[in-house]
Structure 1
Amino acid sequence: MTLLAVWNGRRTFRGHKHWVRFVCTAVLFCVGYGLTVFSSGFKTLLLGWEMMGIASFWLIIFHREPALNSPSYGISAKAFFIYRLGDVGLLLAMWASHHLWRENTTLISFMLLATASMQSSQLPFSSWLPQALENSTTASAILLATLTVQMGVFLLLRSYPFWEHQLSVRVLVALLGLAAAGMAASFARVQSSVKRRVAYITMAHAGLIFIEVAAGFKNLALIHIAANAFLSAYRLLVPPLLIDAASADQGIPNTKTWEDRLPKKLKYTLYMLDMKEWGLYSRLSRYLRQ
């Protein structure tokens, strides 16, 4: 995926001053990703996590010069805030693993779950990924949608021995995944932007992977992570017109969906709520302003 992003970035930034900076950022991201994947403990994992987080933040803003009142600045602030909040959760989990291991392992599990939810853009921290993808280049979006988002699920897989025997944590992971998958799937159906649609589809699949991890299907979750990454990269690279044309050539009949059987007022209400993403962006923006 890193090579694919660099190849796409070379086509976009060839001869541009940002090309060298993009390559260095992609290399830093790849090194941090490798440290996180092959880490043997929390300390090495945190080092790789920080490198990957800084590189992801640079991928969102590296080709822009945002002003304080511009939309790009607000989007970068949201992503940076959620990344830092996730780091706090990981640091608290490290501290609790050293001092409260025998007393309360549930606290460690909850901190790890909160960090994974922020990284994978799950509820209630699901507002940063669609805007980040929409306001970044395709090369940056490939790394964000295929690798950055999947690291939250990978953190749950790496920490599975901490909480596999805790029924409350497993139920909470499954419920968060179910809620995020349902809401993200409904949000994706009303999006006019390809990148926002890809972001919500990625979030929906991440929610399903949360359910698979909670159920103990770790191998299935790994396969789903790889399949979700390739699907997101395909949707970002293939022009939307070609996707629409391929769907039209299949001759899919125009059948009624379950929304068509709902009362008209309820259907319009759900449509407007999905268009506004149930106010998730506005709430987070209000908290950041405060």
Structure 2
Amino acid sequence: MSLTDFHFDGITIAYLLVGVIVTLLTVWYGRRNLREKGQSSRFYYTLLLFCAGYSITIFSTELKILLAGWEIMGFASFLLIVVDRNLTPGNKLKAFFIYRLGDVGLLLAMWASHHLWRENPTLVSLLLVMTASAQSSQLPFSSWLPQAIENSFTTSGILLATLMVQMGVFLLLRSMPFWEHQPSVRLLIALLGAVAAAMAAGFARLQTSLKRRVAYASMAQAGLIFLEVAAGFKSLALAHVAANAMLRAYQLVKSQGTGNGKHPVQQRAKTWEDRLPIKLQYTLYLIYMKEWGLYSRLSKYLKA
């Protein structure tokens, strides 16, 4: 690994600025929050490991360097989740399973780019899209983020809901030369983003925990950014990434002042569902409550 393996462009600048701001906010908030719980030293060592992986990833110019940073960052993210020792083993395994699945997709994409690119470029692109979907908590891997954020410290949740989720978008932006001339892949990215954004927006409206609402809101915005990337709007996607990260970090910090992250019941504004027949309204409500069965399906494979 040499200096020629890294490079500095607009994508790197945007993610570097967002990373610095979010990290400083996390350190400032964790200084007074984690000290009371006796977990500050453990958290800051893990944060340094996360920042190292994040930096290697955003400065990388090729998949093998990106994979090295990706592995470090994924391992550090898992440690950030389990800083809270009260997190149940099942939730630990679900997050770890999604990270490993994304790593496998990236590893296979790197291998296929060397051996199968000329014969089957679509395969490489699909593997990259799978990895990005897993990292950004998009379909069909959308159930791990709310569970991880809800059952971890707010300091860890800030990093997961801002920097970690947006790394899937970074992978799509960095790998755009692989798939930008493949209409089928662009359509797939757009469909994944649109469906995930619509579903996550519905899920968020029924949550009583502010942490879960922030998690679903971050997923919904990541889905919209997928749409922007598929349409080729790089600058808009980068601005959206920065705005979403700042907003989610602010919301998570403010959530600690609302009574253990619980959202008070407020009068709900009328929505388009109110115009549907009452039975269909109840059906949609139950589907949203059960999150389309995504979490239960994943739990079948990862029983605590």
TM over 0.5: yes
Secondary structure of the equivalent of 1:221? Answer: helix
Q: What is the CA–CA distance in structure 2 between the aligned matches of 1:22 and 1:200, rounded to whole Å?
A: 24
Instruction: Give the superposition deviation at 1:257.
Output: 2.0
The correspondence of residues 126-141 of structure 1 with structure 2, limited to 5 A, is 126-141=142-157
**Corresponding residue number in structure 1 for 2:95:** 79
Instruction: Give the superposition deviation at 1:101.
Output: 1.7
**Paired AA for residue 50 in structure 1:** E
Q: What is the CA–CA distance in structure 2 between the aligned matches of 1:255 and 1:166, rounded to whole Å?
A: 41
Unaligned residue ranges in structure 1 (runs of 5+): 67-71, 243-247
Find out whether 1:287 has 2:301 as its counterpart: yes
The correspondence of residues 39-58 of structure 1 with structure 2, limited to 5 A, is 39-58=60-79
Instruction: Give the superposition deviation at 1:80.
Output: 0.2
Instruction: Give the superposition deviation at 1:284.
Output: 0.2
The correspondence of residues 60-75 of structure 1 with structure 2, limited to 5 A, is 60-64=81-85, 72-75=88-91
Q: Which has the higher contact order (CA 8 A, sep 6+)?
A: 2
Secondary structure of the equivalent of 2:302? Answer: helix
Q: What is the CA–CA distance in structure 1 between the aligned matches of 2:303 and 2:38, rounded to whole Å?
A: 33
**Aligned partner (choices 202, 205, 215) of residue 189 of structure 1:** 205
Change (3 A) 1:16 1:261: closer
- After TM superposition, the structure 1 stretch with the greater mean CA deviation from structure 2, 13-22 or 168-177, is 13-22
Q: What is the CA–CA distance in structure 2 between the aligned matches of 1:88 and 1:98, rounded to whole Å?
A: 16
Change (3 A) 1:26 1:167: same
Find out whether 1:177 has 2:193 as its counterpart: yes
Q: What is the CA–CA distance in structure 1 between the aligned matches of 2:197 and 2:300, rounded to whole Å?
A: 25
**Corresponding residue number in structure 2 for 1:223:** 239
**Aligned partner (choices 256, 261, 276) of residue 275 of structure 2:** 261
**Corresponding residue number in structure 2 for 1:232:** 248
TM-score by length of 1: 0.92
Change (3 A) 1:164 1:131: same
**Corresponding residue number in structure 2 for 1:29:** 50
Q: What is the CA–CA distance in structure 1 between the aligned matches of 2:268 and 2:251, rounded to whole Å?
A: 23
Secondary structure of the equivalent of 2:249? Answer: helix
Instruction: Give the superposition deviation at 1:256.
Output: 3.1
Q: How many corresponding residue pairs?
A: 278
Q: What is the CA–CA distance in structure 2 between the aligned matches of 1:16 and 1:288, rounded to whole Å?
A: 29
**Corresponding residue number in structure 2 for 1:245:** none
Secondary structure of the equivalent of 2:61? Answer: coil
Q: What is the CA–CA distance in structure 2 between the aligned matches of 1:168 and 1:13, rounded to whole Å?
A: 47
TM-score by length of 2: 0.87
- After TM superposition, the structure 1 stretch with the greater mean CA deviation from structure 2, 129-138 or 271-280, is 271-280
Unaligned residue ranges in structure 2 (runs of 5+): 1-21, 260-265
The correspondence of residues 90-129 of structure 1 with structure 2, limited to 5 A, is 90-129=106-145
Change (3 A) 1:259 1:21: same
Instruction: Give the superposition deviation at 1:4.
Output: 1.1
Secondary structure of the equivalent of 1:259? Answer: helix
Q: What CA RMSD, in Å, does the superposition of the two structures yield over aligned residues?
A: 2.0
**Paired AA for residue 258 in structure 1:** W
**Corresponding residue number in structure 2 for 1:149:** 165
Q: What is the CA–CA distance in structure 1 between the aligned matches of 2:64 and 2:97, rounded to whole Å?
A: 22
Q: What is the CA–CA distance in structure 1 between the aligned matches of 2:86 and 2:153, rounded to whole Å?
A: 14
Q: What is the CA–CA distance in structure 1 between the aligned matches of 2:52 and 2:303, rounded to whole Å?
A: 34
Q: What is the CA–CA distance in structure 1 between the aligned matches of 2:192 and 2:116, rounded to whole Å?
A: 25
Q: Give aligned-pair identity as a percent.
A: 68
Change (3 A) 1:179 1:286: same
